[in-house]
Structure 1
């Protein structure tokens, strides 16, 4: 059973395995990794993890990061951006990524459902998610959680809104539109 945990320096090797499986590039959304972060060494990794956990109060935090972990393996990351700034308007309130070997098993949808609960608890009534145009797997994940795609294409991305008002989590951990059972 996967867990959603706060980043920890204790999972350095497990995180590096996931990171190396992805390969180079900006496709690890959800981890909060910046180009200047040095994560290969123990001290560099610990400094990066400390930066991610800088603000423990979600009401004041810029972002809440969580890792998707199962049996000691880091399967992916997911981030909840709390501000409505230019970056969030461009990248979305929630960003996530699943390492290639862990995809197509419902883990992104599971993690997104839990982070929607965090967003609701933090006072959000609606969240924006953005994925690359043509990324049908990510689009299905967002749509399963109630995402409604904005009409009209905006270049290389698809933009989805999820309304959190009046949508309580179901006991099975899935969200269903009001009145759908």
Structure 2
């Protein structure tokens, strides 16, 4: 059964393997935007990424304008990195319209096995601990797999904005 854990340098090689599977496409919930994968092959650079991901949950951590505090978690099983999940502590205008509180991605070789559903279910109590009583979770209008994941976890469809389906999930 997959677990949600804080980012950890011990998953360096497995994380790199997972990142390669995305073949340059964005990893929702990964927090590694702007970190070139080629540079992250270096253990020191990877440690910097892990430290950044862990510290981003702290309100006092420096962040880019328009970004909110975020708890990053990794989906792992039997020592293998399966994917990423992010819980954004609050919503700004962009997140309210398109991004939501929780974003996630599962590496292509681990999809269609229930990992995303399990990770989202495990993230809801964490969101509640962060004071989020209703979590907004979004997906591309064309992403049937993510839509099923959200609905399986109690997501109630509100509307579609700019190609993003918006769902609310009670965290209680």
Runs of 4+ in 1 over 3 A off after TM superposition: 55-58
* Superposed displacement of residue 46, structure 1: 0.6
Aligned residues: 162
- Mapping of 1:86-125 within 5 angstroms? 86-89=93-96, 90-125=98-133
Cα offset for 1:150?
1.4
Q: Deviations over 1:31-64 (max 9, x none)?
A: 1112245422111111011001115668x98111
Instruction: Give the drift of 1:154.
Output: 2.0
Give me the TM-score of the superposition, normalised by structure 1: 0.83
State the structure with bigger RCO (CA 8 A, min sep 6), 1 or 2: 2
Secondary structure of 1:150's counterpart equals strand
Instruction: Give unmatched runs, 5+ long, in structure 2.
Output: 62-67
CA-atom RMSD in angstroms: 1.8
| TM-aligned CA deviation for residue 88 of structure 1 | 2.4
> What is the match of residue 171 of structure 1?
none
Paired with 2:126 and 2:140, the residues of 1 have a C-alpha distance of: 24
Query: Using the alignment, how far apart are the partners of 1:33 and 1:55 within structure 2?
Result: 12
Identify unmatched segments of 5+ residues in structure 1: 168-181
Task: Tell me by how many angstroms 1:157 deviates.
Answer: 1.4
Q: Does 1:71 align with 2:78?
A: yes
- Which of the two has greater helix per residue? 2
C-alpha distance in structure 1 between counterparts of 2:69 and 2:16, whole Å: 25
